[in-house]
A and B are shown apart, each in its own frame.
Chain A
Amino acid sequence: MTTATGPATGTYAPKPGAAPLPRMIAAQAVLETKMLLRNGEQLLLTVVIPTLLLVLFSSVDIVDTGAGKSVDFLTPGILALAVMSTAFTGQAIATGFERRYGVLKRLASSPLPRWGLMTAKTASVLVTEVLQVILLTAIAFSLGWSPHGGPLAVLLLLVLGTAAFSGLGLLMAGTLRAEATLAAANLVFLLLLVGGGVIVPLDKFPAGARGVLELLPVSALSDGLRAVLQHGAAMPWGDCGILAVWAVVGLAAAGKFFRWE
Chain B
Amino acid sequence: MRSEPVVQVQALVKRYGTKTAVDGLDLVAQAGVTAVLGPNGAGKTTTVETCEGYRRPDSGTVRVLGLDPVRQSRELRPRIGVMLQSGGVYSGARADEMLRHVAKLHAHPLDVDALIERLGLGSCGRTGYRRLSGGQQQRLALAMAVVGRPELVFLDEPTAGLDPQARRATWDLVRDLRADGVSVILTTHYMEEAEQLADDVAIIDAGRVIAQGSPEELCRGGAENTLRFTGRPGLDIGSLLKALPADCTAAELTPGAYRVAGKVDPQLLATVTSWCAQHGVMPDRISVERHTLEDVFLELTGKELRS
Contact = CB atoms under 8 A, between A and B. Distances in A.
Nearest to B77: A111
A184 to B, nearest CB: 20
A33 to B, nearest CB: 12
Interface stretch (A96-104, A126-134, A169-177, A230-238): A96-104
B12 interface: no
Contact of B90 (A20, A103, A111, A113): A103
B302 to A, nearest CB: 31
A9 to B, nearest CB: 7
Interface in A21-35: 23-24, 27-28, 31, 34-35
Interface of B is mostly: loop
B270 interface: no
Interface of A is mostly: loop
A102 B92 contact: no
B182 interface: yes
Interface string B142-157: 0010101111000000
Contact of A6 (B33, B80, B144, B181): B181
B32 A16 contact: no
B90 A98 contact: yes
A3 B4 CA distance: 16
B126 to A, nearest CB: 13
Interface stretch (B172-180, B256-264, B282-290): B172-180
B74 interface: yes
A256 interface: no
A106 B114 CA distance: 22
Nearest to A12: B180
B31 interface: yes
A26 to B, nearest CB: 9
Nearest to B144: A106
Contacts of B92: 35, 38-39
Interface string A74-94: 000000000000000000000
Interface range, B side: 35 or more
Contact of A109 (B52, B89, B101, B149): B52
A233 to B, nearest CB: 41
A98 B74 CA distance: 22
Interface stretch (B16-24, B102-110, B220-228): B102-110
B82 interface: yes
A206 interface: no
A103 B182 contact: no
A113 B31 CA distance: 27
Interface of B: 1-3, 31-33, 52-54, 74, 77-80, 82, 84, 86-93, 97, 101-102, 104-108, 110, 114, 144, 146, 148-151, 175-183, 199
22 contacts: A1-B178, A4-B32, A4-B183, A5-B31, A6-B179, A7-B181, A11-B114, A14-B79, A15-B107, A16-B79, A19-B106, A28-B105, A35-B90, A101-B90, A101-B91, A103-B88, A105-B88, A106-B82, A106-B87, A111-B77, A111-B148, A261-B54
Interface of A: 1-20, 23-24, 27-28, 31, 34-35, 38-39, 97-98, 101-103, 105-106, 108-113, 261
The 9 closest A-B pairs by CB, nearest first: A102-B87, A17-B107, A10-B180, A106-B88, A4-B32, A8-B181, A12-B180, A27-B104, A18-B78
